[in-house]
Amino acid sequence: MSLDNQAVTLLQELIRFNTVNLPGNEGPAQAHIAAILEGAGFVVEQHGAEVDRPNLVATLGDPTSGPVLGLLSHVDTVLADPADWTHDPWSGDLHDGFVWGRGAIDMKSQTAAEVAAAAELASGGWRPERGALKVIVVADEERGGNLGARWLVREQHELARCDFLLNEGGGEVIPYGGERLYGVCCGEKGVFRFSVTTRGTAGHASMPTLSDNALLKAGPLLERFAESQPDPQLIPEAKALLEALGADPSDPRAALESVVATDPRMAAIVSPLLGVTMAPTRIRASEQINVIPARAVIEVDCRVPPGLGEQEALAAANQVLGAGEHEIEFLEKVPGNSSAPEGELWDAIGEWLPSEDPAGKAIPVMLPGYTDSVAFREAYPEITAYGFFPQTNMDIYETSPLVHGADERIDARDVGVAARCYSAVARRLLG
């Protein structure tokens, strides 16, 4: 069976394990993966905070003899309602060239491609000339990774150690200005969520003029969030992205306008990467409908580029909200994380890409959201970790709406593309 077919078949099998988190129940899927990798020659260990939710690390080679390449993925998924789907979410159907099911994109397809590539290398007799190849499959990513990646790097620190890491977060082809771009995710924004509190005096709602309604004071603040975002603050990865798109990073607003003029769809990818973003998501005021609130609280999801932190987030909030009698309090402070778009792993991806897509061009991108890469970057500060699951047939505008949505599916050819990539990168880095 060809590598492509092995990867597609494994994806179908993995989808048929219902690993919706909660409860997760990743154990049976991990056992299936373990059997494949052990049969190919890997040394496989499974460890977890809960017995039925193990994390898997499979090792080929000697980690003390050179660099270690880790192929990382998670097998838990979000929920799915079969009533909303064309095909059953746990069918793994192969129909019209697509594999259907929950996890087809996020991210059992990458698990299948990584495991199939690693197993084919090992069963064919390949061994690293230096260092080791690790296949790392974790639980619990969809709920923060406390039982998964975060637990693994803390409790099995040496077992999970890597010098290079490939994970989710990038790789779909991005058509732009006549080019075919492939985003290599080099970083993830930090989370600095905060609350904005307004105060007044309580009173009976039947006599509104006798009180000072804190909720009404929150209204203008919401309008300010709607009207503007903070000034751009470009980190090196964002500058490199704009340059790759042919835009001048010295004037970020003009650069964004040029991107919009070329392809408005690209603005949705680029805009959040140019600095701090803020989105009010919840508001709380009176607990009773007949009581005028003395206090109203707006909660804001604030994302901050790597290298920036609380100071920049606070300055951005003050810029948007202006002066006034409101109070800002941070609820979460999680710095962003990144790996430089240079070095051996970057070069290995760049060398492989023309073999699959001669017109393709790798560009650095950054995620506004979160993956398990952050746990590895925190645990191993010298690691180079990228999100890269290459797809040449489905572009980013086709795949993005399907993540966590109904009728999640992937072009079967792209599962093979990714498997070939991981095989080539392993050979390039490890010999």
Catalytic residues: 76, 141
Report d(CA 315, CA 224) in Å as an integer. Answer: 15
Report d(CA 329, CA 215) in Å as an integer. Answer: 18
CB 190 within 8 A of CB 299: no
CA proximity to 164, closest of 150, 184, 193, 183: 184
Q: Where are the alpha helices (DSSP H) in 168-303?
A: 214-227, 236-244, 252-262, 264-270
Q: Where are the alpha helices (DSSP H) in 64-129?
A: 108-123
Instruction: For tokens 């080679």, name the residue.
Output: 61
CB 33 within 8 A of CB 19: no
- Two tokens at 255? 């650069």
What are the respective helix, strand and coil percentages of the chain, to the nearest 5? 40, 25, 35
CA proximity to 266, closest of 172, 352, 339: 172
Reduced to 3 states (helix: H, G, I; strand: E, B; else coil), residue 52 is: coil
Report d(CA 199, CA 201) in Å as an integer. Answer: 7
Half-sphere exposure of 126 (CA within 13 A, CB side): 18
What is residue 218's DSSP assignment? H
CA proximity to 398, closest of 181, 183, 177, 172: 172
Q: Is the peptide bond before 22 cis (omega within 30 degrees of 0)?
A: yes
- Two tokens at 25? 């129940």
CB 53 within 8 A of CB 25: yes
User: H/E element holding 188?
Assistant: strand 179-188
Report d(CA 424, CA 117) in Å as an integer. Answer: 9
CB 388 within 8 A of CB 373: no
